């Protein structure tokens, strides 16, 4: 988990230092903050807060990229309207990015069950189980969501901003590229360069 998160942090740091779209940086930073807190919650066995933070990260990531072309998106109160606008946005429209965004949105739908107390997402409690407890099944579920969502973020950023990656400090570039799966790198190289 930390490797992908670190790759995202590296990208955001470089994106910011290169002076790219300053208005979107706070939303990207908030996305990374949500993911960092998700990691800490999972380590403590606090799965509901972890899922809520994952959900927040999706909202912030969507707004971060959309506000570059549509600054009024931050005023939008309906998240479904935000997602509809995002589907039309240049960052999410290309085939590769649209596929990744659909993966993100499918996880968002699952995470909404936690937020809205879907009975299937609730766990019975007793006095002792009110304290956070490790649960291998739920831990794996949150881990899988975290990894897939973060991989999609990284892929979408790489696809849309290869120029940022190209001029990164060599160590940062290596760290960013190392955080991506081989299949993501392959898919993006094929999509961008036909390789």
Give the integer Cα–Cα distance in Å for 54 and 58.
Answer: 7
Q: Specify the pLDDT at position 107.
A: 96
Give the integer Cα–Cα distance in Å for 90 and 85.
Answer: 10
Q: In Å, how far from its chain's centre is CA 90? A: 17
**89 three-class SS:** coil
**172 three-class SS:** helix
Per-residue pLDDT of the chain (195 residues; tens, 9 = 90+): 889 999 999 999 999 999 989 999 999 999 999 999 999 999 988 888 999 999 999 999 999 999 999 999 999 999 999 999 999 999 999 999 999 999 999 999 999 987 766 555 555 444 455 666 778 898 999 999 999 999 999 999 999 999 999 999 999 999 999 999 999 999 999 999 886
Which strand (E) or helix (H) includes residue 115? helix 95-115
**Closest listed residue to residue 59, CA positions, set 19, 22, 41, 86:** 86
Give the integer Cα–Cα distance in Å for 119 and 88.
Answer: 34
């Amino acid at each position: 988990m930390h490797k992908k998160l670190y790759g995202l942090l590296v990208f955001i740091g470089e994106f910011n230092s290169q002076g790219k779209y300053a208005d979107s940086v706070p939303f990207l930073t908030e996305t990374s903050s949500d993911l960092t807190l998700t990691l800490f919650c999972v380590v403590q066995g606090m799965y509901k807060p972890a899922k809520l933070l994952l959900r927040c990260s999706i909202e912030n990531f969507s707004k971060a990229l959309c506000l570059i072309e549509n600054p009024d998106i931050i005023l939008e109160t309906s998240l479904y309207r935000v997602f509809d606008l995002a589907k039309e946005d240049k960052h999410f429209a290309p085939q590769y990015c649209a596929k990744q965004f659909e993966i993100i949105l499918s996880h968002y739908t699952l995470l909404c069950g936690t937020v809205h107390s879907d009975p299937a997402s609730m766990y019975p409690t007793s006095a002792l189980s009110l304290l956070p407890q490790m649960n291998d099944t739920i831990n794996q579920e949150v881990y899988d969501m975290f990894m897939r969502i973060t991989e999609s973020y990284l892929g979408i950023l790489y696809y849309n901003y290869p120029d940022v990656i190209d001029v990164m400090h060599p160590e940062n570039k290596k760290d960013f590229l190392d955080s991506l799966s081989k299949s993501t790198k392959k898919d993006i190289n094929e999509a961008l360069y036909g390789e």
